[in-house]
Amino acid sequence: MTFDKTPNRRLLALTGWVFLCFTAAATGGFFMPGEWYASLRKPTWNPPGWLFGPVWTALYAMMSMSAWLVWQRGGFAVQGRPLGLFLAQLALNALWSPLFFGLHRPGVAFVEIVLLWLAIVWTFAAFWPVRRAAAWLLAPYLAWVSFASVLNFTLWRLNP
């Protein structure tokens, strides 16, 4: 069986990956920071609120492109493991906002973000032999989640 790489199919797939990634992002829209987050003690290096939207928009766009590049190398039939890891990390990504902002459980959210970090590392490693550009597109995401993990831990410890 050959893999269909027609321009229409590639464009449809890219649209699908963008839709999927931004659907995961939408969970953040249902669980906004609100008064609870505003009342937390924060470190001096806590980023301003306006920064999160642009950063996450860029990260989700890069994640979409990354998955699409791997998908182009045979789709799920050939790249099932790397794309499955991508979907797993995306599910973990979508879970963090409900845990932190929805349930107000920074300790549980910290454990979850560590699992997310590990899943991103595994996804990076799985993407690397398939398409290095796809792996590198995940590097800023990994860096941001690394920073967010430290911030999550700090918020948890400052607000027991």
Q: Which band of pLDDT confidence, cut at 50, 70 and 90, is reported for residue 29? A: confident
CATH code of the region 7-41+53-158 = 1.20.1260.100
Cβ–Cβ < 8 Å for 64, 137: no
The reported pLDDT for the residue numbered 3 is: 59
Span 84-103, pLDDT tens digits: 999 999 999 999 999 999 99
Instruction: State mean pLDDT over 6-22.
Output: 93
The residue type at 49: G
Cβ–Cβ < 8 Å for 89, 116: yes
3-state secondary structure 110-146: HHHHHHHHHHHHHHHHHHCCCCHHHHHHCHHHHHHHH
Q: Which band of pLDDT confidence, cut at 50, 70 and 90, is reported for residue 131? A: very high
Of 5-9, 11-15, 116-120, the least confident: 5-9
pTM of the entire structure? 0.94
CA 22 to chain centre: 10
Would you report the helix, strand and coil content of the chain in percent, each value rounded to 5?
80, 0, 20
**Is residue 71 predicted with pLDDT exceeding 70?**
yes
Please state, rounded to an integer, the average pLDDT across all residues of the chain: 95
Instruction: State mean pLDDT over 70-92.
Output: 96
The reported pLDDT for the residue numbered 1 is: 40
